[in-house]
């Protein structure tokens, strides 16, 4: 199993360097299955952009998704994040907070408007936003079993059953939404 940091192969690093050099404004989505390394890639891209002085906001779909509501929360993200972003207004939203394995709507968070918005997470490049994205990026990651082990290592053994159910859900979601076909693939699956 490859660690998340190891997903930043020299090839992926070079692709991120090239992408960071061309980004100044707009909306970027980083999508792919759970455990593929989306958060690692998003953090690396944001770091590159900030070092160049590019103002960027990073929003994670994990701030909205729950085990029981994997993707139907999208209208909330549209209202809270996208409507404010396109109007060049500061963003105010209420990300989920997990307490004892139960998600709750958290306290309001205020984020200053910046000209570049990166949305990272499963379903971030969904068909519903495709025509508004300046870039849609995809990570395959390792095999499904390896990605499962990576997410279990991150979230804890007691989350394994939920993560297995999530993998089954996202496989169906991506097949119906045809997300990968609309994205620039940053890595190729080893499965």
CB 97 within 8 A of CB 103: yes
Residue 8 is predicted with a pLDDT of 80
Residue 191 is predicted with a pLDDT of 42
187: Cα separation from own chain's centroid: 15
Domain boundaries, the chain: 5-72+115-185
Residue 45 is predicted with a pLDDT of 96
**Residue written as tokens 């909306």?**
27
Q: Each residue's pLDDT tens digit in the chain (191 positions)?
A: 555 556 688 888 899 999 999 999 999 999 999 999 999 999 999 999 999 999 999 999 999 999 888 999 999 999 999 999 999 999 999 999 988 878 899 999 999 999 999 999 999 999 999 999 999 999 998 899 999 999 999 889 999 999 999 999 999 999 999 999 999 998 865 44
Residue 101 is predicted with a pLDDT of 78
Residue 7 is predicted with a pLDDT of 67
CB 109 within 8 A of CB 90: no
Rounded to whole angstroms, the Cα distance separating 90 from 152 reads: 35
Residue 1 is predicted with a pLDDT of 54
Residue 100 is predicted with a pLDDT of 82
Residue 6 is predicted with a pLDDT of 67
Tokens of 94: 């209420």
CB 26 within 8 A of CB 136: no
Rounded to whole angstroms, the Cα distance separating 173 from 161 reads: 18
Structural fold of domain 5-72+115-185: Rossmann fold (3.40.50)
119: Cα separation from own chain's centroid: 5
Query: Residue 109 half-sphere exposure, CB side, CA atoms within 13 Å?
Result: 15
């Amino acid at each position: 199993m490859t660690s998340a940091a190891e997903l930043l192969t020299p090839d992926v690093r070079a692709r991120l360097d090239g992408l960071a050099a061309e980004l100044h404004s707009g909306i970027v989505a980083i999508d792919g299955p759970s455990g593929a390394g989306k958060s690692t890639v998003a953090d690396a891209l944001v770091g590159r952009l900030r070092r160049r002085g590019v103002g960027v906001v990073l929003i994670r779909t994990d701030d909205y998704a729950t085990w029981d509501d994997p993707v139907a929360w999208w209208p909330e993200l549209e209202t809270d994040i996208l409507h404010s972003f396109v109007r060049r207004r500061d963003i105010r939203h209420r990300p989920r907070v997990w307490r004892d394995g139960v998600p709750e709507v958290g306290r309001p968070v205020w984020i200053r408007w910046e000209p570049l918005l990166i949305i990272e997470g499963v379903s971030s490049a969904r068909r519903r936003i495709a025509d508004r994205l300046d870039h849609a990026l995809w990570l395959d990651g390792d095999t499904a079993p390896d990605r499962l082990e990576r997410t279990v290592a991150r979230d804890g053994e007691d989350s394994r059953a939920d993560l297995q159910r999530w993998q089954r859900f996202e496989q169906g979601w991506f097949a119906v939404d045809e997300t990968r076909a609309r994205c620039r693939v940053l890595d190729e699956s080893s499965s």
